[in-house]
Every structure is written in C-alpha cells, then in structure tokens.
C-alpha cells in the first residue's frame, strides 16, 4: 500500500576532495599519531627547560649544603641541610640578599685549606676592631649583644683576642664558642672566600624554617662608598 522506496531521487554519489578545494581531508589514524608525537616533543622541551632553569638557579643563586659538626649550636645541628644564597658572591649591593652584614651565617672556603668549607657567623666587619674578652665580644669598644647564644656553649673563657679587621675581610665566629675553630684561632676570612650565606633550613623536618639573624644595637657603620663620596665633596 505504501511504497517507501526512494523513487525519482537523483543519486549525487560520493563527495571527493577534488570537488571542492576547501574540503579538508582528515585521516584520524595519522592525525592521532602526529598529535601524540607533537605532544611528546613539547613535553620533552618543557622538561628540558625546567632542568636547565634549576641548574642555572643552583649554579648562580641557591645551593644546598650539609652542616658538619657542632660549632654552630644551638642554631645549627650536625647533619642539617641548609639553602645558601650565593648572590653575595656576585656582590649585588642593590638588594639585601646581595651583600654581607653582621649576623649573617656564611659558608666559606677555609683560608688555611680551601678544599674545606666552614659555616660561621659574621661578627666583625671591614674597618672594625673586634675584641673578645671574658666570653663577650666588643666591636670598637662597645659590647655586642648576642641573644642567639646559649650560655651552656659559652663557658670556657679563652684568652683575650683583639683583632683589627682589614678591608675585604671578615671576622667570623661559631655560636658554640666553647667548640669552634674560627677567627679567634686562625684569623680573618677574605671576602672572596665567602661563597654564600645560609638563610633556610629544609632538613630536619622538626626545625624547618628561616635561620635567625642577629639583631644588634650598634650604630650603623658608614660604607666605604659613602666615605669616598664625602671626600670627593670636600
């Protein structure tokens, strides 16, 4: 009764790419393989760039170090891991991280054997006179307040030490004054031997955090650049 067969309809046939130059022929298998290869190359590129950035960051900016010994007790313990800011080695004076100051915990090559590295705290700056007397430190005759010290590690009072700090040198000491080989024993540290200052402890987990920097009430010493500028004005 009803005839649903398509009658009197024109068969247009298959559409070919040649019929319309704007038709894009997509072969899903080939496209999927090319897409996977492209994404793999992009991933490798990103991983490579990340590795390069971390290497450059480690070479020029931050370096991990391991504390060996107990000369910095109670601040630092044997086996702890620190991050060291290396910008001080390049003397970026315009930023706080780029220069050395009293109270900084620094890592440096031991002057008597540059193959070894020591970690100590900067006590005396260039141009100052440091005196250690009866377990106390005096800078240019004024007593240095050191709240980070523990009296337990500062009981064996050594002989008096008086040392004038030359330009481009620093007087360093360990916080464990009873068990620290430092500037009291072997002298000053050349500025060029200091390759970084520690600022963050990332191991052990119980002590993770930024390191304590000494706060002092001594008057700020004028910088050499300022003194030169004043001389030129006069």
Same domain, 53 and 147: no
* 16 lies in some domain: no
Range of the domain at 138: 63-214
* 206 lies in some domain: yes
* Residue of 120, 180, 183, 197 with catalytic role: 120
**CATH number, position 71:** 2.10.109.10
Same domain, 125 and 87: yes
* Alpha carbon separation from 162 to 104, 153, 182 (Å, rounded): 21, 21, 14
Same domain, 152 and 202: yes
DSSP state of 59: H
Residues 162-185: tens digit of each pLDDT = 999 999 999 999 999 999 999 999
Element (H, E) at 226: helix 224-233
Cβ atoms of 166 and 143 within 8 Å: the answer is: no
Question: pTM here?
Answer: 0.70
* 34 lies in some domain: yes
Same domain, 148 and 43: no
- The residue ranking higher by pLDDT, 194 or 99, is 194
Same domain, 33 and 103: no
Q: Examine the residue annotation and report whether 180 is marked as an active-site residue of this protein.
A: no
Give the model's pLDDT for residue 76.
Answer: 94
Same domain, 52 and 87: no
Average pLDDT over residues 70-92: 86
* 189 lies in some domain: yes
Give the model's pLDDT for residue 205.
Answer: 86
Distance, in Å, from the CA atom of 95 to the CA atom of 83, rounded to the nearest integer, reads 18
* Residue of 7, 32, 40, 71 with catalytic role: 71
Residues 118-164: tens digit of each pLDDT = 999 999 999 999 999 888 899 999 999 998 999 888 887 766 899 99
* 219 lies in some domain: no
Average pLDDT over residues 92-110: 81
DSSP 164-203: EPPTTEEEEE-S-GGG--SHHHH--EEGGGEEEEEEEEEE
Q: Examine the residue annotation and report whether 71 is marked as an active-site residue of this protein.
A: yes
Give the model's pLDDT for residue 75.
Answer: 92
DSSP state of 127: T
Q: How many domains does the chain have?
A: 2
* 224 lies in some domain: no
Same domain, 174 and 81: yes
What does pLDDT average to over the chain? 79
């Amino acid at each position: 009764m009803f005839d649903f067969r398509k009658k009197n309809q024109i068969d247009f046939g298959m559409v070919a790419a040649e019929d319309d130059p704007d038709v894009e022929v997509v072969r899903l298998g080939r496209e999927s393989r090319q897409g996977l290869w492209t994404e793999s190359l992009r991933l490798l590129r990103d991983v490579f760039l990340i590795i390069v950035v971390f290497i450059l960051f480690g070479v020029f900016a931050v370096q991990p170090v391991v504390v060996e010994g107990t000369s910095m007790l109670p601040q630092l313990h044997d086996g702890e891991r620190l991050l060291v800011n290396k910008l001080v080695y390049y003397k970026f004076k315009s930023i706080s991280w780029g220069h050395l100051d009293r109270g900084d915990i620094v890592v440096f090559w031991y002057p008597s054997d540059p193959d070894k590295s020591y970690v100590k705290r900067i006590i005396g700056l260039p141009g100052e006179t440091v005196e250690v007397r009866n377990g106390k430190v005096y800078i240019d005759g004024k007593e240095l307040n050191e709240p980070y010290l523990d009296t337990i590690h500062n009981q064996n009072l050594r002989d008096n030490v008086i040392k004038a700090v030359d330009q481009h040198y620093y007087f360093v000491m360990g916080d464990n004054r009873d068990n620290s080989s430092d500037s009291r024993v072997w002298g000053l540290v050349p500025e060029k031997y200091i390759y970084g200052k520690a600022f963050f402890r990332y191991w052990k987990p119980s002590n993770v955090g930024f390191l304590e920097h000494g706060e002092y009430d001594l008057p700020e010493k004028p910088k050499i650049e300022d003194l030169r500028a004043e001389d030129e004005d006069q």
